[in-house]
Amino acid sequence: MKALILCAGRGSRLKGLTENLPKPLLKVKNKPLLEYVMEAMIDGGIEQEDIIVVLGYKGSKILEFLKEKYPLVKTVENTEWQRTNMVHSFVVGSKLFSGEDVVVSYGDIIYKPGLIEGLKKEESEKW
């Protein structure tokens, strides 16, 4: 199973908080939101090299974070992030998969590895 994490948006509803930092790097309990997502994916059984992160707004800051903490993760850029939405980011990222099962996540939500483990279990029990 692969993972596609959407991190291209500006997070404009957060106004000043995202002026200099992309939403996935905002911290909750001293940890970036994206780190919670990455930990859930990896602890849930998805290998770093099977994760693709779609970048856009302030993408260089996310790329810097990923290179330091998760160097095997792949990235792709939604160069049209200002004029498009998350569906376009999904399309940009999905071009790197070919018929594989993929977990799609925003890069700014918190969930536990058990969610990913459950999805992987469902994958093995296909109808």
CATH number at residue 75: 3.90.550.10
CA-closest candidate to residue 75, choices 113, 34, 120: 34
Q: What sign has the CA pseudo-torsion 105, 110, 111, 112? A: positive
Whether 86 shows a pLDDT value over 50: the answer reads: yes
For 93, the domain range is 2-124
* Rounded distance between C-alpha atoms, residue 126 and residue 123, angstroms: 6
For range 96-125, the mean pLDDT: 86
Inter-residue contact 32 to 65 (CB < 8 Å): yes
Mean of the per-residue pLDDT values for the chain? Answer: 90
3-state secondary structure of 59: helix
Give pLDDT, residue 125.
61
Whether 124 shows a pLDDT value over 80: the answer reads: no
* Rounded distance between C-alpha atoms, residue 79 and residue 45, angstroms: 30
- Phi, psi (deg, nearest 5) at residue 123: -60, -40
Give pLDDT, residue 97.
85
> Read out DSSP for 66-117?
HHHH-TT-EEEE-TTTTT--HHHHHHHHHTT-SS--EEEEETT----HHHHH
Give pLDDT, residue 127.
43
Q: Please state the domain count of the chain.
A: 1
Question: The tokens of 101 are what?
Answer: 């099962």
